[in-house]
Amino acid sequence: MKVLLIDDDLEILKCLEAALTLKGFASDLFTRPKEALEAYKQEKYDAVVTDLKMQEMDGIEVVRAIKKYNPDAYVIVISGFYDDFKSRMEKVEGVYTFLFKPLDIKELLGALSRIEKELCAASNKK
């Protein structure tokens, strides 16, 4: 499974990448959301993990752009700001799950494993 990781903090991305690699997931890292969206259009990603608050564009804009391009995309949004996150995310549809910082890697890996199972089940039906 290939995951697109978007966060403007490179250290967080590197930690996420290391955890995903240990579980057998491939990932591409982007600190610039606009570059990540271009990569999404060029590559095949099974899931996207994006931060909510970023300088170039926020996670809501990322989710909307991805869903416009692929309505069936699996998108996980992470944030360290619960109140702001909750009020802003009520306006966004189609997010697979929301996770909060400090991020529990087990929660993220669990969500990605569920996505992987759903993708396998969908491909077996074809």
Element of type H or E holding 78: strand 75-79
pLDDT confidence bin for 73, thresholds 50/70/90: very high
| Nearest C-alpha neighbor of 117 from the set 65, 69, 22, 46 | 46
- Third-level CATH fold of 2-125: Rossmann fold (3.40.50)
| Nearest C-alpha neighbor of 45 from the set 62, 57, 22 | 62
Does a cis peptide bond (omega within 30 degrees of 0) precede residue 102?
yes
Other Cβ atoms closer than 10 A to 1: 18
pLDDT confidence bin for 94, thresholds 50/70/90: confident
- pTM comes to 0.92
